[in-house]
Amino acid sequence: MTETHQCIKVVAKRTGLSPHVIRIWEKRYAAVQPVRTETNRRLYTEDQIERLNLLRRLTHAGHSIGTVAHLPVETLRALAAEAANGYEDPTTRSRAPSVDDPAGEFLAECVMHIKATDAHALEDVLARATMLFGAQGVLQQVVAPLAQQIGDLWRAGTISAAQEHFASARLRAFLSDAARPFAVTETTPTLIVATPARQLHEMGAAIVAAAATNLGWRVTYLGASLPAAEIAGTAIQSRASAVALSIVYPEDDPALADELEKLRRYLPQEIRILAGGRAAPAYRATLDKIEAITLADLNDLLPVLDDLRRPGKRH
């Protein structure tokens, strides 16, 4: 029987990984070794797709891709089974805490203190989570899921607008404190972080800024709702390596496609555009057109930033 092979677009859809991250995991970590067609297209077997799915589950559960990429599939399955109580696919909207899920417990505590608008208690939970997971881990396992959950709760009417504003303010303060830059030099790459015009939700952008800062990037955070010309002007002036855009709401802005295309025209070709956020898939056609690197979540961001720092990737 002839073994079935799938192209990278199909694999991306089935695994939830972006094609860019799949290629990085292949080139940097040898996580999978796809066959190549005569035209150099990658083709993946069902076993390789299973392996990528397992690796995605484990990185979402807190494992470093570098430590699990070379493990045999039997070990990956066992680790994924152990992490099952602490992992939920990001495409699902609810996450129930359990005694075996410290991140879930922290999330439940945070929501409780947000509803009570208890700033000191909320800060204490985030501090304890940081001690357990570390600066980067707390962003991935607690802060990013919490920011999404806050939005879900507000849209469902479970928390009030005042509680949502309280939570956002406290998280922004936490992110400001958490983003402690390394000593920068002339060779430190620069990342511009913003949301495009009329995209008013900036929590995702703030999380990206903190994560990139902790990874040793020089980050210029511009905030929410900036026209393409202003984002591009700052990127050119700063000699940035990339621009990261958070696209959260709305999902049906008829003017956003034009803004994204303008940004690509204004930027030098060597400055890459990264885009992610809840609403980003709604603009996928335009993002593909401008050759943006699309990110499913914060876990996608880290290998992309590492790849951009490699020699020959930066201008």
The CA distance from 111 to 122, in Å, is 9
Q: How many domains does the chain have?
A: 3
Is residue 184 included in any domain, yes or no?
A: no
My answer on whether 197 and 293 are in the same domain is yes
> Where a domain ends, among 35, 58, 86?
86
> Is residue 91 situated within a structural domain?
no
Tell me what pLDDT residue 312 has. 57
What's CA 20's distance to the chain center, in Å?
13
Report the distance separating Cα 156 and Cα 234, nearest Å.
Answer: 37
Tell me if 68 is assigned to some domain.
Answer: yes
Residue after which a domain boundary falls, among 51, 86, 121: 86
Output Rg (C-alpha) for the chain, integer angstroms: 20
Instruction: Please count the CA atoms within 13 angstroms of the CA of 249 that sit on its side-chain side.
Output: 9
174 and 65 assigned to the same domain: no
Which CATH number characterizes residue 33's domain? Answer: 1.10.1660.10
On whether residue 233 sits in a domain, the answer given is yes
Distance CA 243, CA 220 (A): 10
DSSP-assigned letters across all residues of the chain: -PPPEEEHHHHHHHH---HHHHHHHHHHH-----EE-TT--EEEEHHHHHHHHHHHHHHHTT--HHHHTTS-HHHHHHHHHHTGGG---TTSS-----TT-HHHHHHHHHHHHHHTT-HHHHHHHHHHHHHHHHHHHHIIIIIHHHHHHHHHHHHHTSS-HHHHHHHHHHHHHHHHHH--PPPP-TT--EEEEEEETT----HHHHHHHHHHHHTT-EEEEEEEEE-HHHHHHHHHHTT-SEEEEE--S-S--TTHHHHHHHHHHHS-TTSEEEEESTTGGGGHHHHHHTT-EEESSHHHHHHHHHHHTSTTT--
Contact 47, 40 (CB under 8 A): no
251 is in which domain, residue-wise? 190-308
Are residues 197 and 169 located together in one domain of the fold?
no
Residues 81 and 133 in one domain: no
Do 195 and 157 fall within a single domain? no
Model confidence pLDDT, tens digit, residues 135-174: 888 998 899 999 988 988 887 888 899 999 999 999 999 9
Q: Per-residue pLDDT tens for 53-107?
A: 998 888 777 677 877 888 889 988 888 887 665 544 433 333 433 445 788 889 9
Compute the Cα dihedral for 130, 133, 136, 142 and give only its sign. Answer: negative
The model's pLDDT over 169-209, given as tens digits with 9 standing for 90+, comes to 999 999 887 766 666 677 889 999 999 999 988 899 999 99
Considering the domain architecture, whether residues 202 and 290 belong to the same structural domain is answered as yes
pTM to 2 decimals? 0.70
- CATH value at residue 121: 1.10.1240.10
Percentage of residues in the chain having pLDDT higher than 90: 45
